[in-house]
């Protein structure tokens, strides 16, 4: 389940390896939850490749999806790609305005749940190289029916990860998530927040190790928080009104991802796999 091979330097290889290891842990945990619910659902993995702008290998990724009793639709994708941005898009990317060459590796996760009392969730972690090098990412909770206990628990795990990296990170990254995951045309938040960060720049090997460790800690925080919430809520009773509320909320989620999400745009602009890019969309949604 490794993306197609392209030449990697030691930092790029270390980041890719870390993201693939996190993918394996998350998928194993999601499958374990399905077993606890009496389901034999497993992830299905689809590798994909992309050419660069010259037609030579430009990397690719592996799309992992599961549809089960608890996870109505969840995707855990990893990708490692390189090439050149088109000139106009390059101007929007950190460090690519004067040199459009890039490298990117990352993990992207979205889970839409069968029970409306179980929140949907999103996580993305990435390492990019242009004329600069940096980490970015985050995780955020998206409940159709918010529960303060779950929201507080999720944020508490992310706070611990941030606080160990820099005591000022959580306040900054939490506000960044609130600002980023806002749906302007609806004047509502996409969910109950989390953290979002970008451009953690790398000037030294010590910077790389610190920011990689932080991104791994965010992944660990996700694994401490989200599966525990799922197990607590997955058997909770719900009615048709609850499901209708979830389907309408999913419509808002889809609107954000198609209109505003930078990750969606990045994937489309760099020749990524369309199914992997759009796996974030819910399996069913309604609009009034």
pTM for the model? 0.94
CA 104 – CA 96 distance, rounded (Å): 12
pLDDT digits (tens, 9 = 90+) for 94-152: 999 989 999 999 999 999 999 999 999 999 999 999 999 999 999 999 999 999 999 99
CATH, range 10-280: 3.40.1500.10
HSE, side-chain direction, 13 A CA sphere, residue 252: 19
- Over the stretch 57-94, which tens digit does the pLDDT of each residue have? 899 999 999 999 999 999 999 999 999 998 889 899 99
Handedness of CA 42, 13, 176, 183 (dihedral sign): negative
The catalytic site residues sit at 122
- Encode pLDDT of 260-269 as tens digits: 999 999 989 8
Q: Give 171 or 267, the one with higher predicted confidence.
A: 171
The pair phi, psi for residue 153, each rounded to 5°, is: -65, -45
State yes or no: pLDDT of 216 exceeds 70.
yes
Q: Name the token pair of 72.
A: 């109505």
Distance CA 66, CA 76 (A): 9
Contact in structure between 62 and 3 (CB atoms under 8 Å): yes
Predicted local confidence at residue 1, as pLDDT: 64
Give 160 or 89, the one with higher predicted confidence. Answer: 160
pLDDT tens track for 10-48: 999 999 999 999 999 999 999 999 999 999 999 999 999
Residue 2 — pLDDT band, cuts 50, 70, 90? low
Cα–Cα distance for residue pair 272/187, rounded to 1 Å: 31
């Amino acid at each position: 389940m490794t993306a197609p091979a392209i030449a990697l330097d030691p930092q790029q290889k270390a980041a890719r390896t870390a993201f693939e290891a996190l993918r394996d842990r998350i998928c194993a945990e999601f499958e374990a939850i399905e077993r606890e619910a009496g389901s034999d659902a497993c992830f299905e993995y689809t590798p994909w490749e992309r050419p660069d702008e010259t037609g030579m290998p430009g990397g690719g990724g592996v799309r992992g999806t599961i549809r089960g009793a608890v996870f109505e639709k969840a995707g855990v994708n990893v990708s490692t790609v390189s090439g050149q941005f088109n000139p106009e898009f390059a101007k929007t990317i950190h460090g690519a305005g004067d040199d459009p060459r890039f490298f990117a590796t990352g993990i992207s996760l979205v889970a839409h749940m069968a029970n409306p009392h179980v929140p949907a969730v999103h996580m993305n972690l990435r390492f990019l190289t242009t004329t600069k090098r940096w980490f970015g990412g985050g995780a955020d909770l998206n409940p159709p029916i918010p529960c303060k206990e779950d929201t507080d628990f999720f944020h508490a795990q992310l706070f611990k990860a941030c606080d160990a990296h820099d005591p000022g990170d959580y306040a900054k990254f939490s506000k960044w998530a609130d600002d980023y995951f806002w749906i302007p045309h609806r004047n509502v938040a996409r969910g109950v927040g989390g953290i979002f960060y970008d451009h953690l720049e790398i000037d030294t090997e010590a910077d790389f190790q610190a920011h990689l460790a932080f991104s791994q800690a965010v992944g660990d925080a996700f694994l401490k928080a989200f599966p525990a919430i799922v197990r607590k809520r997955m058997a909770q009773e719900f009615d048709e009104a609850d499901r209708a509320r979830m389907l309408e909320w999913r419509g808002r989620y889809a609107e954000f991802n198609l209109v505003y999400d930078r990750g969606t745009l990045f994937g489309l602009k760099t020749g990524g796999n369309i199914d992997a890019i759009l796996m974030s969309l819910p399996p069913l949604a309604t609009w009034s």
